[in-house]
């Protein structure tokens, strides 16, 4: 077993629900007839990569820390706007 500091939230999400993908054409251009000429596909790919980077930069240990500090009302992350 790996320590929580080495397990990214991205790994957990992808194991649970599969590849993180905001639109199907980002991972499979063949799925859409216009993906080669789509003006939005590059932007979708960029947003998707930023989401992946964000999830992969967070660890299970970090998530647990925020949960613990949130319970103590000392959490440096504002979680009130996320619901």
Question: What is this structure's pTM?
Answer: 0.72
Residue 65: burial class (beta carbons within 10 Å; 0-12, 13-18, 19+): middle
* Per-residue model confidence (pLDDT) at position 72: 54
Cα distance between residue 67 and residue 75, in whole Å: 8
Cα distance between residue 47 and residue 73, in whole Å: 32
Residues contacting residue 32 through CB under 8 Å, at least 6 positions apart: 24, 25, 38
Tens digit of each residue's pLDDT, the chain (83 residues):
999 999 999 999 999 999 999 999 999 999 999 988 999 999 999 999 999 999 999 899 988 887 655 555 555 554 454 44
* Per-residue model confidence (pLDDT) at position 36: 87
> Which token pair is 37?
């000429």
């Amino acid at each position: 077993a790996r320590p929580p500091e080495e397990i990214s939230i991205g790994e957990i999400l992808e194991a649970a629900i599969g590849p993180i993908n905001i639109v199907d054409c980002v991972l499979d251009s063949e799925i859409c007839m216009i993906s080669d000429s789509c003006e939005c596909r590059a932007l979708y790919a960029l947003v998707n990569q930023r989401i992946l980077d964000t999830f992969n930069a967070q660890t299970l240990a970090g998530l647990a820390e925020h949960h613990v500090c949130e319970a103590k009302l000392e959490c440096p992350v504002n979680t009130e706007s996320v619901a």
